[in-house]
Structure 1
């Protein structure tokens, strides 16, 4: 049945067949509805379909399209292997699903970085109490988040359009939500539109808001999805890009774009001036408190790969959840509630946690080698983690 189909239809039908078993695998789909077959098929059959799809890719003439589909199809094959009952070690699972290796840190390295971070926090008393007191001073009340977000989004959109271009008609809505394992989420809706949800389970700090809005909006997820829809679907007719998948290599590139989005629009020094000036006044916050937290946050950024190490502990080594949650709370200097939310994300999304750290580095290195044109290509062209590794060397 599948052999006579267009390659995009075969790919989309296979993904939906797997999604009938895997919640959240298909993150968005706005293609032909008849391709979104949700009837459960036997995992062994899906495994055969994945192998058949990989073989068929040899006949795809466009190299960029072929290599992107090959990376995605290999990940779908790994999903089918897991569904078929194959016991795959966690590190191999990450490589099979994302085309990257899991990234952790040595405890000695974390201890050194944590000590430097603790030294950067002023005052006396327990570290977490001092941190939470400082964070509370730069919190934007829930009822004020969308008001403060609007001028930030306007500036980010203007810069994105000037530097990288935006397709005519792109737009998104934004709303506040609760009880989610993530801080923000972009839902592609098709027709160059998307919806951004901001999670207010925990207080939203002004210092984090520009990065969060850049990550989900301009020049991050929304910009990438709209740009690729305009370029790859509307211009090229590559209908596979009418679907976005979670738990596949495309997420490494997407999260890497989003993690670097704010830095691509304005340097850190300008962001700090913006936060402690115009945005502090808009939010009614003390600029000195904002600068103090920015200094602390810069020191905390050097405590790298905490979440990735926690995932290796939990999923690779089988450590108890309480031990992993305590590890997260200690090295992230976070409350037990925030550590529990981080643990919930790792339990839910498993190896996805590495798309942030590894994707961040891959995109940063690629842009360092290719310049601004490299980031524009990432927004518009189908690139894989392996292609970024080669291009960023």
Structure 2
């Protein structure tokens, strides 16, 4: 084991040895108090060590390379990780406060590290053959569990779409997907449309946020992934955004991905954490992002909610018209197109419920595919892609539609208003740039 790791976990033993050299009756020596910065280093190393057991675990890292190299060399066992995790969780409770940090912010930092380490412990146990239910996994990894949804919850959606869609043969889902096919961006225009949409989302965000100089993104199109898009944050205010073109991308999806992966979604979230907490306060715990953690609920929920922050109805329609023209579609169809896409929003909850039933074994593969097509409004091909996502990422799916709802409701209670205001953007900035955990965002 690397000396730095040993130092963090063996200070108690060293203190006890020192006590034995004193004269007179033996007196118990209280455990030494580790600083929060030392605990943060231990946490980062824990995440990197877990990454050696699960290649998907570390979503981003831009901290000291030596720490990463150490963990690659050590390849600590899950038992060693669990034992050190227990030590760190105790140390958090006795860490002395920093007088230069406001007490409210300090409390947020402690809660963040406590919850992140709790999720790391749960993931280590899962890798060691613990098989929780979908909801137990959700609670253990993401600090929340999602509501249950039944067929009756999606009847209003199907009825609304039935009225809005052009008449035709087949189910509502089949008619919906045939309609969307009309507005699938031609392959040779996807990159241009996506770049335009991301830049539009950036311009909207910069009206309200001042981002650090030099923040930027790189866009690339990929194939053969279980996800539709991904933001790989590189540090130093750079994001690499990949868009999976295995399935057709509609105009509405382009707007959603531009905001979710870019502005004011994942890119802005990571940039603000680096700027405000890593460079601003020296908090190294934010140089690493473990995918299976409460941080993902905040990241995905704010990214989905960020779409409506950047593009409330009027602005969304205006951008859709521009993207229709860029993609070669008739802009006169935008209002109908927009209404149909808005009516289909509850399908995200149907996808969540499909994952729960599939992962818990209450629905077979065939039943899950049928549910995804009927209520999740997917094509057979996209249903198969969803199954790959469920198999790869487990309960992670709750972070999207349910994450958006939790963030939406929190913002309503905090800043009010149905459409974005300066107060909402201020509250959103605070949410993105401070250590947050999911359960305190829920209503009392």
- Residues 273 and 238 of structure 1: is their aligned pair in 2 closer, same or farther, counting only changes over 3 Å? same
Question: Which residue of structure 2 aligns with residue 178 of structure 1?
Answer: 223
**Residues 95, 102 of structure 1: 8 Å contact kept:** no
Q: Which one is further off, 191-200 or 137-146?
A: 137-146
Determine the C-alpha separation between the residues in 2 that align with 1:326 and 1:266. 33
Q: Residue 442 of structure 2 aligns to a residue in which SS? A: helix
- Residues 353 and 129 of structure 1: is their aligned pair in 2 closer, same or farther, counting only changes over 3 Å? closer
Determine the C-alpha separation between the residues in 2 that align with 1:387 and 1:375. 15
Question: Which residue of structure 2 aligns with residue 246 of structure 1?
Answer: 291
Among candidates 83, 88, 91, match of residue 56 of structure 1: 91
Q: Answer with 1 or 2: which has the greater Rg.
A: 2
Q: Which one is further off, 171-180 or 37-46?
A: 37-46
Question: Which residue of structure 2 aligns with residue 377 of structure 1?
Answer: 430
Question: Which residue of structure 2 aligns with residue 20 of structure 1?
Answer: 52
Q: Residue 168 of structure 2 aligns to a residue in which SS? A: coil
Q: Residue 148 of structure 2 aligns to a residue in which SS? A: coil
Determine the C-alpha separation between the residues in 1 that align with 2:305 and 2:169. 35
Determine the C-alpha separation between the residues in 1 that align with 2:167 and 2:112. 52
**Residues 348, 376 of structure 2: 8 Å contact kept:** no
- Residues 124 and 346 of structure 1: is their aligned pair in 2 closer, same or farther, counting only changes over 3 Å? same
1:31 aligns with 2:76: no
Q: Which one is further off, 225-234 or 314-323?
A: 314-323
Question: Which residue of structure 2 aligns with residue 386 of structure 1?
Answer: 439
The unaligned stretches of length 5 or more in structure 1 are none
Question: Which residue of structure 2 aligns with residue 309 of structure 1?
Answer: 353
The unaligned stretches of length 5 or more in structure 2 are 1-5, 12-33, 98-105, 416-423
Determine the C-alpha separation between the residues in 2 that align with 1:139 and 1:254. 28
- Equivalent residue pairs, number: 390
**1:112 Cα shift?**
4.3
Q: Residue 104 of structure 1 aligns to a residue in which SS? A: coil
Question: Which residue of structure 1 aligns with residue 79 of structure 2?
Answer: 44
Determine the C-alpha separation between the residues in 2 that align with 1:302 and 1:201. 24
1:192 aligns with 2:192: no
Determine the C-alpha separation between the residues in 2 that align with 1:142 and 1:364. 34
**1:23 Cα shift?**
2.3
Among candidates 130, 133, 145, match of residue 89 of structure 1: 133
Among candidates 226, 231, 239, match of residue 276 of structure 2: 231
Q: Could you report, residue by residue, the CA deviation over 1:167-197 in whole angstroms, capped at 9, with x for unpaired residues?
A: 1111110011111111111000011111000
Among candidates 252, 256, 266, match of residue 301 of structure 2: 256
**Residues 366, 374 of structure 1: 8 Å contact kept:** no
Q: TM-score, normalised by structure 1?
A: 0.94
Q: Residue 31 of structure 1 aligns to a residue in which SS? A: coil
The runs of at least 4 aligned residues of structure 1 exceeding 6 Å deviation read none
